[in-house]
Amino acid sequence: LIAKAFHQNFIIPEFTTFCENIEDLYWKVKSKTDGKVASYIPQLARYSPDLWGVSVCTIDGQRYSIGDVDVPVCLQSVSKPLTYALVLNEQTPEVVHQYVGHEPSGRQFNEIKLSADNKPHNPLINSGAIVLCSLLKQDFNLADRFDYTSQMFKRLAGNEHLSFNNSVFLSERETADRNFALGYYLREYKCFPKGTNLMETLDFYFQLCSVEVTAQSGSVIAASLANGGICPITGERVLDAGAVRNTLSLMHSCGMYDYSGQFAFDVGLPAKSGVSGSVMLVVPNVMGVYMWAPPLDQYGNSCKGIEFCEELVDKFNFHNY
């Protein structure tokens, strides 16, 4: 970092000016007050609708944060691309995609619907993520699988904040009729590898939804993805570059629920949202951004998060095309 600073060859050379722009966008978006905080579990319903934080981490480790960036927030569906990346880190895409497709579902994230060849459409909707949970370290017991996964998430986060919210986990499990129904449906259609324990797999899925980051540590995870799997803070290679490439490809086409097509059109970058109000955005080879504001739009995406992504791309033209 010091050598780069000395030679002024950062990926964003005018970082101070860049941050001033981020700050302006933050305040502009803060005034947007539409959307509804998720209320299906009390732990999410208790989030104040006014919480709003944005953190940026570049691939060379420059940081900027503003707002509520130190509050632990559960990953919810933001865990899905990470689970997928971890599975791809260990198994070939050919094997992984025997179990899950590559296509946007064009439906809600928790619908009981498989593709024509009886697989979940992609790993970023509930059905696909549940199947991916069954593939992740399937020879370990559940405790070791959770240890492995949370340690990998923490390495992606540069050893910054990562916690587990047991109340979220218990509430998720308590209110998960749809996910249980999905699990049985998936089992009926033989979507799981042999020997899968369905109840353990669902528990694992709820547990990964209940892992917490802060916007700051989440931005480091996003930056590790932007950096091809090497954490910019620790310099450690955590994920194989191919696993990251495949993950970003599906985040681009499937990461924002049934708004993914419009998001790809308007913003043109890989991202993943979660029902907690998080949006993790990756600008490949530049930076990771983690936005958090609980009020959600009709699709389940953070209203402020979407607005911020659109404003960011208007301002800096990070759009892929």
Shortest spacing between CB 173 and ligand DON, in angstroms: 10
Residue closer to ligand DON (CB basis): 270 or 274: 274
C-alpha torsion sign, points 190, 191, 195, 199: negative
CA 167 to each of CA 41, 44, 212: distance values in angstroms, whole numbers, following the listed order: 10, 10, 12
Shortest spacing between CB 304 and ligand DON, in angstroms: 16
Shortest spacing between CB 109 and ligand DON, in angstroms: 4
Residue closer to ligand DON (CB basis): 120 or 229: 120
Residue closer to ligand DON (CB basis): 175 or 320: 175
Distance of alpha carbon 96 from alpha carbon 84, whole angstroms: 9
Take residue 94 and report the two structure tokens written for it: 């050919």
C-alpha angle with apex 312: 262 to 277, nearest 5 degrees?
65
Q: Which residues contact 5 (CB under 8 A, 6 or more apart)?
A: none
Residue closer to ligand DON (CB basis): 18 or 206: 206
Shortest spacing between CB 169 and ligand DON, in angstroms: 10
Residue closer to ligand DON (CB basis): 126 or 246: 126
Residue with the shortest CB distance to ligand DON: 77
| Long-range residue pairs from 28-34, CB within 8 A, at least 24 positions apart, any chain | 28/311, 29/304, 29/307, 29/308, 29/311, 30/67, 30/304, 32/303, 32/304, 32/307, 33/295, 34/295, 34/297, 34/303
Q: Do the beta carbons of residue 59 and residue 285 sit within 8 Å? A: yes
Shortest spacing between CB 110 and ligand DON, in angstroms: 5
CA 234 to each of CA 4, 73, 219, 248, 273: distance values in angstroms, whole numbers, following the listed order: 16, 23, 14, 21, 25
Residue closer to ligand DON (CB basis): 65 or 179: 179
Shortest spacing between CB 121 and ligand DON, in angstroms: 12
Residue closer to ligand DON (CB basis): 191 or 209: 209
Distance of alpha carbon 39 from alpha carbon 180, whole angstroms: 19
Residue closer to ligand DON (CB basis): 20 or 103: 103
Shortest spacing between CB 57 and ligand DON, in angstroms: 22
What does the chain come to in residues?
321
Q: Which residues bind ligand DON (CB under 6 A)?
A: 76-77, 109-110, 126, 172, 179, 209, 274-275
Q: Do the beta carbons of residue 283 and residue 22 sit within 8 Å? A: no
Shortest spacing between CB 300 and ligand DON, in angstroms: 6
